[in-house]
Structure 1
């Protein structure tokens, strides 16, 4: 038993030696780092979510605008008519030198609505879809009175959507994808196949040797991409069995280069190593949580060493790739400035920016989706106005007095007034209430007395009727908000006037 233990002792010592910092690099030493880097490369190929678009919201808003324009007066709609030989619709122009920001913002939507209404087939399709049947002016005004507030709310919601969407351009799929490929391959190589020796130099601080790229005791690493890290931590070295030693994956190509004066063969080695990475079967869109977990997993493997923290396997001198020195990425930590580099690795910072943008994109998408749902509800509310108008008209029919009832009511009022004035027995008091009443003198058949002036009452009733008809007509003929506002002060109690955009 003792002899068997002694026989196994050299093997145990070899294993322990490979696990002790400072020991020569051995097969599998950097395998976990290789897998971590492969995971990042896999994430770089995953679908990137896109921020919610505005096309659906624009469709709902456009329907409301077309609906509103269909009910507006011809005078209002003439502002957007095609003019000139080119049949172009007019652009917004300030009135009297004063720019109206609201009108300016909405002008394109108004002209767009007119454009679609003109091309609409069959004509009147929008009104038909809304169940709109407005044979008289009163019904049209009732419809507009309820539609206009909805259109105003829709304008405000759409303006918020457009502002939010413009602000979210920084979180677009393309910009997030660029950050991912910058992290993985470098700014000058959008894919693995585009990596060349010149790209490696340009995208990694101008490093032209392996020690400059990966770091050494004298200077920290310039490696700024996952691809460069893959080379530093996994590529073989010419002094180790002619490049035959494999510290990360057993079946990658032999790299029989020292790279002490150049980076010859680096691009081929990177592509070969990346080709040995596992295939990520996930097809779901990339998430911020996945990115942050990948960064934390890799960063946790940083080895502390006085003045020079490193990833990988280090023995002495630096990360030349030789097993006797180091297959690693090293950062100087002897000063605050140098130490910051170890915590601000460019590809890591790019990934963290991706995570941040993905979260902001998701928040913006949720807001846009909620606003779109609000517009959809407003469209439904607008298209339900017809039922409300019909119900209002039915209630009005049931509660409004008939012509006979109006006549009876009028006669009753006249009778009450007649009785009231006939109790007056003084001429001076009666004359104070003229022209509603009049004083009859001695020459009258029934002597001196005060009575209701029937002629004046009839004239008042006629004038009232004419005023209602004239005011209602003015409501529909007003050409701007100011004229409409002027009408509003004198409209009958059972009417409404409002400026309709």
Structure 2
């Protein structure tokens, strides 16, 4: 009877023990956390984007500076000459007075432009590309005047870009990759193969036991890396089936260690567990959003309890991996500082920093791309200055000659007008026809001799450059067929039409008129337009 009672009591105790919440972690209990940690591990294998180089921007800016130097005076360029062959070009230093900060900052770009021009083949290649065939100092001065605001704007953009680029060193791919690796394997471990008993200890707060590594009711864990978390949540314990419990995966190796006074075999257990992770790296470039999601997926599984919070399976006291306590990572929440640590896990902090740098890198690449595009546009603008100068010279040449001819015609008309108005007799006025015309038919004397209005447009027509018989003979044709037959080769000399704007000879009447008539100023504008089109094409 006593034996039966003892057996029944043992059975009750077993049943009661099995009903203690969280007691005795069973196979697969922490597999969901293991999968999340494996996903974090896979981040080290993902391709990373790179911060863009500013090489293309430097090339575009150098082209502008080379053109600027090529057009500069010999006196200006002399200050960049090498003292003797083989020596370096002089660095900036004011001969007197204060330092000119603008010159100091741009000096290296100017010397670089001179260096590239020295080695340019064929010589004058830069000027040829810009169409800068300079005939005289005045033209060169006009080129520099037009180029100056372009070069100035390009210099300001390049200074901003160089200043920004100096801050992008931490956004390089290798820096971000190192940050991710540190969160997974540790700063000294760096890779899975680099994990040893010593690096594992160094990278995890000098923990010397499983409990100090994984935490308990009174102290936060020293586990700083993803691999340390994997050990705490998955490695077996000597008291649980001699370390053979498959808490995270059915294929994990046994870890027959208590680790109550050491962390013997921890590195071996970690390498075995990592080897059981699935591979989901793929070829996709890693994004900031993916890192943040992977971190939040794991940290969102923190279990709250009175005075503590933990990941994994917990029974009592702490996370030493034994069958009596728990296979977990625990944070005490006794103080505000302790509670904050649960939300500030070192490996999670490093990964979120990597995500932030990836986001900054994307912003930096957009800035570099935009500024490079601006410099490309300015380079094209700089190398089109020649066409603008040529056009201005052509316009100046055409308008100057036309205005001179127009002024001469106006002066002649004024002289004829004065001559006509000086005549006081109709008979004398008739002798001056067609220049003069007697306006008062009722009297033969008086101030009635005036300039013939039809004489002026004839003069203007001749000034326009048509002095052939065709320009003065159109009026002799009295009908349309004869008018249209008047040709020089295939070109019509005359046209049957009403007067154009500026013609005062019966402007509303259709008659045979000069087909090439253009008022002086309209003629000039048409020639200028033609010159503009010719320069463009």
TM-score band by shorter chain is 0.7 to 0.9
Q: Which residue of 1 aligns with 2:140?
A: 140
Which one is further off, 218-227 or 165-174?
165-174
Shift of 1:19: 10
Shift of 1:318: 1.3
Q: Which residue of 1 aligns with 2:329?
A: 329
* Alpha-carbon distance in 2 for matches of 1:232, 1:129: 69
- CA deviation digits over 1:163-209, x for unaligned, max 9? 11112223222322222111111111211110111111111111011
State the secondary structure of the residue aligned to 1:80.
Answer: coil
Q: Which residue of 2 aligns with 1:218?
A: 218
Over 3 Å counting, the alpha-carbon distance change for 1:156 and 1:410 in structure 2 is: farther
* Structure showing greater relative contact order (alpha-carbon pairs closer than 8 Å, 6 or more residues apart): 1
* Alpha-carbon distance in 1 for matches of 2:229, 2:170: 28
* Alpha-carbon distance in 1 for matches of 2:177, 2:84: 46
Over 3 Å counting, the alpha-carbon distance change for 1:18 and 1:367 in structure 2 is: farther
Over 3 Å counting, the alpha-carbon distance change for 1:126 and 1:307 in structure 2 is: same
Q: Which residue of 2 aligns with 1:458?
A: none
1:251 aligns with 2:271: no
Q: Which residue of 1 aligns with 2:70?
A: 70
Q: Which residue of 1 aligns with 2:263?
A: 263
Over 3 Å counting, the alpha-carbon distance change for 1:19 and 1:282 in structure 2 is: farther
Gaps of 5+ in 1: 1-13, 416-501
Alignment: residue pair count: 403
Shift of 1:254: 1.6
* Alpha-carbon distance in 1 for matches of 2:115, 2:129: 18
* Alpha-carbon distance in 1 for matches of 2:193, 2:130: 56
- CA deviation digits over 1:464-491, x for unaligned, max 9? xxxxxxxxxxxxxxxxxxxxxxxxxxxx
Shift of 1:336: 1.1
Tell me the C-alpha RMSD between the 2 structures: 2.6
Q: Which residue of 2 aligns with 1:364?
A: 364
Which residues of 2 match residues 73-472 of structure 1 at below 5 A?
73-84=73-84, 86-401=86-401, 405=405, 408=408
- Whether the 8 Å CA contact 1:26–1:323 is kept in 2: the answer is no
* Alpha-carbon distance in 1 for matches of 2:118, 2:86: 16
* Alpha-carbon distance in 2 for matches of 1:233, 1:199: 20
Q: Which residue of 1 aligns with 2:4?
A: none
Shift of 1:330: 0.5
* Alpha-carbon distance in 2 for matches of 1:402, 1:374: 41
Structure 1 segments of 4 or more deviating over 6 A?
A: 17-20, 409-412
* Alpha-carbon distance in 1 for matches of 2:85, 2:138: 38
* Alpha-carbon distance in 2 for matches of 1:281, 1:42: 5
* Alpha-carbon distance in 2 for matches of 1:20, 1:381: 80
State the secondary structure of the residue aligned to 1:192.
Answer: coil
Q: TM-score, normalised by structure 2?
A: 0.71
* Alpha-carbon distance in 2 for matches of 1:50, 1:18: 54
State the secondary structure of the residue aligned to 1:328.
Answer: strand
Shift of 1:156: 0.4
Shift of 1:18: 8.7
State the secondary structure of the residue aligned to 1:331.
Answer: strand
* Alpha-carbon distance in 2 for matches of 1:308, 1:243: 26
* Alpha-carbon distance in 1 for matches of 2:404, 2:180: 82
- Whether the 8 Å CA contact 2:46–2:281 is kept in 1: the answer is no
Greater Cα radius of gyration, structure 1 or 2: 2
State the secondary structure of the residue aligned to 1:312.
Answer: strand
Shift of 1:161: 0.3
State the secondary structure of the residue aligned to 1:62.
Answer: helix
Q: Which residue of 2 aligns with 1:451?
A: none
Shift of 1:406: 9.2
- Whether the 8 Å CA contact 1:25–1:324 is kept in 2: the answer is no
* Alpha-carbon distance in 2 for matches of 1:230, 1:281: 19
- Whether the 8 Å CA contact 1:18–1:25 is kept in 2: the answer is no
- Whether the 8 Å CA contact 1:243–1:256 is kept in 2: the answer is yes
State the secondary structure of the residue aligned to 2:309.
Answer: strand
Shift of 1:85: 6.0
Gaps of 5+ in 2: 1-13, 416-537
Shift of 1:334: 1.2
Shift of 1:141: 2.4
